[in-house]
Amino acid sequence: HIRPYLYLYMSLSMDPVVQEQVRKSILTLGNQQPDKVLSMCQDYLLKHPKLVVGHRVVILQTIELVVKSRTDDISYPKIKSVIQLASDEMTKSKEVVPEWQQAASNILVAVGNKYINDIMEEILGKFQPGVLPHFFVVQTLANLSDSNVYGMVPFLNAIMGTMLPMLGMTKQDNMKWVFSSALCRFSESILEYLANLDKAPDPTVRKDTFSSEIYSAYDILFNSWIQSRESKLRLTVAEALGSMSHLMAHDKLEEQLPKLLPTILGLYKKNSEHYIITKSLCQVLEASVNMGSRVLETQIDGLLLALHQQICSPVDFSNPPTVKNHNEVLRCFTILANTFPDRLMVFVLQRLENSNERNRMGSLAVLRHLINSSTSIMETKKLLILASIRQPLADHSNKVKKRVVQVISAMAHHGYLELEGGDLLVRFIIQHCALPDTYHRPPDPEEVTNEALRSMCDNTLHLFTTTVGRLTDVLWPMLLCYLTPNQYASATTPLCKSLILLANKKRAAQEASFIIDFNAQDLKHLLHFLQVNAAFPFRCRGHGAPSLSLLNALSPNIHPKAEPLWENEIPKLLSYLEGLYSLMIIVVQGVAMGIGLCASSHLNGTLEKLEEFGKSDAFRKASGIFGLLKDKNDVDVEKMKSTLILCYGYVALHAPEDQLLTRIDSDILQNISKNFNTKVKHIVTPLYILWFKSIIVVQKYSSITVVLVRFCRQRYSKLCLCIFQHIESWLSSGQDHERERAVKTTAELLQFYLDNLSVKNLVTFHNLGALVGRLAPRCTDPNPEVRRAAIDCIYRLMYIQLRYEGFSLDYKDDSVEGLLDVREKLSNPDHSVLYKTCSELTKIISKRLPQQQLSTLLFMLFDGLVDSQSNCSRASSVILNTLLKNRGLLNIFVENVPEMLEVLHNRLQVIGEEQVKVAIGQSILILATQHLQTVVNTLVAYPLPYDSWSCEMWMALGADSTLALQIMEMIIEKLNVMVPYVDKKESMLRPGLTKVATSQPLAMTCALREMMLNGQSADAVAYVFPKLFSSLLVRLGSSVGVQLPKDLNSNSIISDRKTTNKINVINFDVCGVAVEALRILLGRAQLDAVVKPLDQEGAWDKMKDPQQHTTGVTLAMAKHAGPRLPAIVEGLCPSLCNIYECQRITVTAFFSELLNHHVVTELMILDMLMNNMMERITDTCGTVRMLAVRGLGNIAVGSPEKVNKYAKELLAAMSSGMEEKDDPGKLITLEAMSGMSKILLLENSVLASMGFLLLYGFTQRSIVMFCQENDEIRCASIMLLGNLSKFGSGEPVFKDQIHNVLVSLLLHLSDPNPQVVKACKYSMRICAPIVGSEQISAMFQNHLLEEKGLHYGEFINDLTKYLIQDFPGMLNFYHITVIQFFKSNWAEIRASAAMFIGNNNYLFIYFWFSI
């Protein structure tokens, strides 16, 4: 029942609902029958070796969950098989495939929680001395030590002993990372084990058991790896060093501290992520303090400075690592406080005197932490701290004040406020409970508003009252003193609430201190104050209800008769107030909505009534519906205004659009702007939203600019930016009038913002880059009004920035004033003038824009590339490229380059404007000019096969010949050293390995192909042609028979494009890419004379075929490459010694063909080629040896005049080739015989003059080959015999050799292969003079003509007569030889043998009786 679930799971895996249901079903079955489910999962994996990684991961995860939940119920044999399966899955691929291998590793970790010995037996088998283990073998050991501390620690000494030599062998960063991570986990496990020895299986384990191994590992990590350029590795090494410091011998740690601490502190400058560094530092400090280090004191100054710098860094609470870092820094201060309390306290309190905001905030954070965490140490320093805290109390920054409040809160809990000077801190809290509202909102998002600080102080005062019992006597009755002074009026509500709590507490406890001895004047003053508050209940943050409640709480102190009366009446008043407030809100909103609905059918009448009410006397009793809006006793004017505006908002929302158009400006918005100074925020917020919605709906509204500005100019300058967010989408509208109004509105808003800008501290105008990026492209808008307004916007933005930088309002900047000239030029509609002017504008922006704003500006310009107006999209590209040229070298760009390229890639997909596409190509070129390595690395990492837009990006890089040359040389250098493929076991059930391509060299080959498609790359290609050709030829050899990896894009940097289109992958061929790149190279180098014959002969397809590759590689370069060949040969020579056979085969085949042409002599590279061929004779690869022998033989054709120079070497090579034993197909022997034949045909060669000396040995070797099944070998051996026989005339020994093979030659005249027959005829004609019979010689010369047919029967009949007549003594030998051919594989040969022996016997008898 389980297998169908698995098949269903896999087939429907694209449906997440079905996937989850099937997964749950399998797990349910697994909980019931774990062995069976595990068996089925294993069986499925084994039977589907090519299962996609994602599906394998899901099944492995299922196994893990079953094992975790039912470990105790699984049989031991099944546990063993699961361990084996997981281990094999984890290490099947030599490359790291994280998702797959992590899933397998997790199974081992889950099993290891119970069966640790079995797991270690399996894992340690793959963790052998002297051999670098698989990445996930180390990772699994690390995770095991984390999950099963007591099981793993006993193994760690041995594991580290094996690991230490591996550390020195490790070169790759990912392996260094995993070893460092493992050492960190091991150290943490050991420390946990030692901390819980009472639970440990072996309580005799001591820290010094591991000290030696830990220090050896520390030596490598600290002295080598921590200097890595890879930040992730540096951080992991630092983390490991921190954990390891606890296990180092005390003397070693003491010795290393002067170097270790500065190194760790130095990492802060090299890494943006600081948490790991601080954590490591904290562990080292803890270890040092625990052992009583004396050296630590010498480092204290540097430590305090670095830690203080860290504590002063802003904390982003949405980013957990920054929060963790902050907490670790505080922990460091705690550790140092325990050892150096005086020095630390002096340091912190001195920093409090510094008025710098960040500095003071950091110091206050440390002080607060020390007060809370180091109570005993701080006890003697309370008075000193109380004296020092006075200075920050006077700070004007709300951020600092917030930290001060936090410190005061901590001091309150530890008895500081009861001491002399504590009352000042209480007063500080009450003062800030009375803060006014913040009307001008700060642009800094981190700024603490008055409202936020006031709320914090309210809460702090409440906490003092409720949670700090010791403060009760301090606060009571002191808080009463702050009720009546006018400066604390806004603090009445929190003061009353605290006093009520204190009074009730003391009253309930019947404490004598509850009764206050008021003098008559004070009591009268207090009573009047509270009663007046109750009369105006909604003022001062609603102080009415708390004042009434306090009166009730204080009643025993006021008069004995007041208590029963007030306890009865005051609760009723409070209930009435509560209902009144709720009713007021409901009524106001209801009235406004009702009036809005009236306007939907009676707009004119409604507007008249609203206007009439707006002009009325607000204190006069009104009649009609508007009477509901008035309080008969006292009218709150602010609320009246707010309600009136809300009514107008609903009118604008509900009124008919055709009627609203004529009334919105004069009757609605004008009246709104008159009254838009209300302070009542609960009404303002919905008003703003409704009102602005009504504006957006009315698209053809005629004066939106004027009204919006009027709207903003009342009190809410912060709304400028808020409104801009609404306007932003209209800036690129397809309608001219909408764009014009949007830009003009923005210009007016910016002018208002500039006029009302008040800068107290130098801060950054964070929105500058975004605003300029949105507005700059509009400077070339088709509408001239838009162009001029856009320039006005930028002009004002530049001056806003100057104001933020501290310049005065009347300051004039020459470069910014230049924008006015640009504005005039934009009146000219000519495109060329516009773009030139646009370039001038960019130079001004580039000069004035702060460095940190550039990235934001660029990304906004990227959006502008797809603007609805082609003019503006082109302008975006012009501005973008000008900025990149002028400012692109800044370091701020480096980390953004990959993201920029990705955005450009996305834009290419939607841009239809060809001119903009060309400009994007130029952007990529500029980025590459400035950040070449980053650009190349990023583009290489794009998913394969490259989509059309990635190809366009690579082609763009070919447009600049200088840059293209640099990139090509860079890629060539990397291709020459990178691993082209890896051997992988495709299946556990099938033997043998499969060649699987590595991604990066494949990507680089694709990159070269695309770059060379750009015609402008011709100069670069011509310059680097020899290197490029050599590299691609070797790459071609490395690609034959190589498969694509299943996880083709596992290392892609573009996570959302890792899944490639299956159709594209089907057409994507590793070897095809290399062949295509080579073909494009030859075409770009204008070698059409080479390309044409290759096309005609189908050489490109042959190159891709493993069986015909060497044939295809024998290119016609020799005829046409000319002067390029020496450099090509020089570039290819190193590959002949490469470890990859395929590369040696390709290069040897190429060199072999070159030797077939005389040009190698003309170019003086013959010696180089011959020497290389001689060396390859002893190559371990048979194919290379065969090709080398062929090349040596080719010298007789290509450079015959040079044969004598190499006579001895050629003779030795051919002799060796014919004697080759490791030659299953006899191909080396064939080439040796063919090569020897070519050489012997040369009449003047030294070898020809040595012919007789060669006869015997070579004749014997060639005769052996006569009966080979390979037609070519038979043909070559027979031809070689014929050529050798030229030198055998008159030599008895050679005559005997000819008679020995005569029968074979005669029988092979009927060979089924025509070429063998021709070879026999040729050899027998050449051998004829040596046979020793004039009649036979004449027969051979007359009848054995190559193109003439032969009647075999008659020929043999006549020949037999002469054999019997001339060589009667050889007849017996002939008979014995012929009989051997009766077993021939060829029927024709067997028939000829029968005919030959029949004729011989008949004629022999005939002659015998004749005698």
Find the range with the poorest average confidence among 362-376, 660-674, 685-699: 685-699
In this prediction, residue 1230 carries a pLDDT of: 82
Contact 339, 296 (CB under 8 A): yes
Task: Give 894-919 pLDDT, tens digit per residue.
Answer: 677 888 899 899 888 888 888 889 98
- Give whichever of 1112-1126, 1183-1197, 1363-1377 has the largest mean pLDDT: 1183-1197
Question: Which residues, 6 or more positions from 1263, have their beta carbon under 8 angstroms from its beta carbon?
Answer: 1277, 1281, 1297, 1300, 1301, 1304
Comparison of pLDDT for 278 and 1059, the residue scoring more: 278
Burial 21-48 (b: 16+ CB within 10 A, else e): ebbeebeebbeebbbebbebbbebbeeb
Query: What is the Cα–Cα distance from 187 to 856, expressed in whole angstroms?
Result: 44
Task: Give 495-554 pLDDT, tens digit per residue.
Answer: 999 999 998 888 887 888 888 877 767 777 787 788 777 777 777 777 778 888 888 888
Averaged pLDDT, 1159-1175: 88
Query: What is the Cα–Cα distance from 1364 to 1407, expressed in whole angstroms?
Result: 8
Contact 842, 882 (CB under 8 A): yes
Comparison of pLDDT for 224 and 1305, the residue scoring more: 224
Give me the residues paired with residue 994 across strands.
984
Averaged pLDDT, 4-12: 48
Contact 471, 408 (CB under 8 A): no
Residue 1297 in this model has a pLDDT that exceeds 50: yes
Record the pTM.
0.51
In this prediction, residue 17 carries a pLDDT of: 62
Question: Which residues, 6 or more positions from 260, have their beta carbon under 8 angstroms from its beta carbon?
Answer: 222, 241, 245, 284
Task: Give 230-261 pLDDT, tens digit per residue.
Answer: 999 999 999 999 999 999 999 999 999 999 99
Query: What is the Cα–Cα distance from 308 to 316, expressed in whole angstroms?
Result: 17
In this prediction, residue 684 carries a pLDDT of: 42
Q: Other C-beta atoms within 10 Å of 1105: how many?
A: 14
Query: What is the Cα–Cα distance from 1266 to 1272, expressed in whole angstroms?
Result: 10
Task: Give 394-447 pLDDT, tens digit per residue.
Answer: 999 999 999 999 999 999 988 899 998 899 999 999 999 999 887 655 566 678
Residue 687 in this model has a pLDDT that exceeds 70: no
Comparison of pLDDT for 944 and 182, the residue scoring more: 182
In this prediction, residue 1401 carries a pLDDT of: 57
Task: Could you list the beta-strand ranges (E) of 922-1017.
Answer: 981-984, 994-997
In this prediction, residue 1059 carries a pLDDT of: 45
**Sign of the CA dihedral with 1306 first, then 1309, 1313, and 1314 last:** positive
Query: What is the Cα–Cα distance from 985 to 993, expressed in whole angstroms?
Result: 5
Residue 10 in this model has a pLDDT that exceeds 60: no
Query: What is the Cα–Cα distance from 902 to 913, expressed in whole angstroms?
Result: 19
Mean pLDDT for the chain overall = 81
Residue 1381 in this model has a pLDDT that exceeds 90: no
In this prediction, residue 442 carries a pLDDT of: 56
Comparison of pLDDT for 694 and 561, the residue scoring more: 561
Task: Give 776-825 pLDDT, tens digit per residue.
Answer: 888 888 888 888 899 999 888 888 888 887 787 778 888 888 888 888 87
Averaged pLDDT, 857-884: 86
Location of structure tokens 């009757």: 667
Averaged pLDDT, 590-614: 87
Instruction: Look up residue 701 and give its two tokens.
Output: 């509204």
Q: 1162-1170 long-range CB contacts below 8 Å, 24 or more apart?
A: 1163/1123, 1163/1125, 1163/1126, 1164/1126, 1165/1125, 1165/1126, 1165/1129, 1166/1195, 1166/1199, 1166/1202, 1168/1129, 1168/1130, 1168/1133, 1169/1129, 1170/1195, 1170/1206, 1170/1209
Averaged pLDDT, 1033-1059: 72
DSSP symbols for 916-949: HHHHHHHHHHHHHHHSHHHHHHHHHTSPSSPPHH
Task: Give 974-1014 pLDDT, tens digit per residue.
Answer: 998 888 988 887 654 556 788 889 888 999 999 999 999 99
Task: Give 171-204 pLDDT, tens digit per residue.
Answer: 999 999 999 999 999 999 999 999 888 888 888 8
Is the previous residue joined to 1106 through a cis bond, with omega within 30 degrees of 0? Answer: no
Helices (H), 198-340: 208-223, 231-245, 250-270, 275-290, 300-311, 320-339
In this prediction, residue 1028 carries a pLDDT of: 93
Instruction: Look up residue 1340 and give its two tokens.
Output: 């051979």
DSSP element (H, E) containing 742: helix 736-755
Averaged pLDDT, 717-737: 67
Find the range with the poorest average confidence among 87-101, 136-150, 270-284, 1304-1318: 1304-1318
Q: What is the percent of the chain with per-residue pLDDT over 70, rounded to a whole number? A: 85
In this prediction, residue 1116 carries a pLDDT of: 53
Count CA atoms within 13 Å of residue 153 on its CB side.
Answer: 23
Question: If pLDDT is split at 50, 70 and 90, which confidence band does 1360 have?
Answer: confident
Of residues 1360, 1384, 1294, the one with CA closest to residue 1332:
1294
In this prediction, residue 692 carries a pLDDT of: 45
Instruction: Look up residue 1286 and give its two tokens.
Output: 């030229």
Averaged pLDDT, 270-285: 93
In this prediction, residue 714 carries a pLDDT of: 42
Give me the residues paired with residue 995 across strands.
983
Residue 967 in this model has a pLDDT that exceeds 80: yes
In this prediction, residue 892 carries a pLDDT of: 57
Query: What is the Cα–Cα distance from 287 to 270, expressed in whole angstroms?
Result: 25
Question: If pLDDT is split at 50, 70 and 90, which confidence band does 955 have?
Answer: very high
Phi, psi of 982 (to 5 degrees): -125, 150
Task: Give 293-342 pLDDT, tens digit per residue.
Answer: 999 999 999 999 999 999 999 888 778 888 889 999 999 999 999 899 99
Question: If pLDDT is split at 50, 70 and 90, which confidence band does 29 have?
Answer: confident
- Give whichever of 1075-1084, 1214-1223, 1374-1383 has the largest mean pLDDT: 1075-1084
Of residues 229, 260, 223, 258, the one with CA closest to residue 242:
260
Residue 711 in this model has a pLDDT that exceeds 70: no
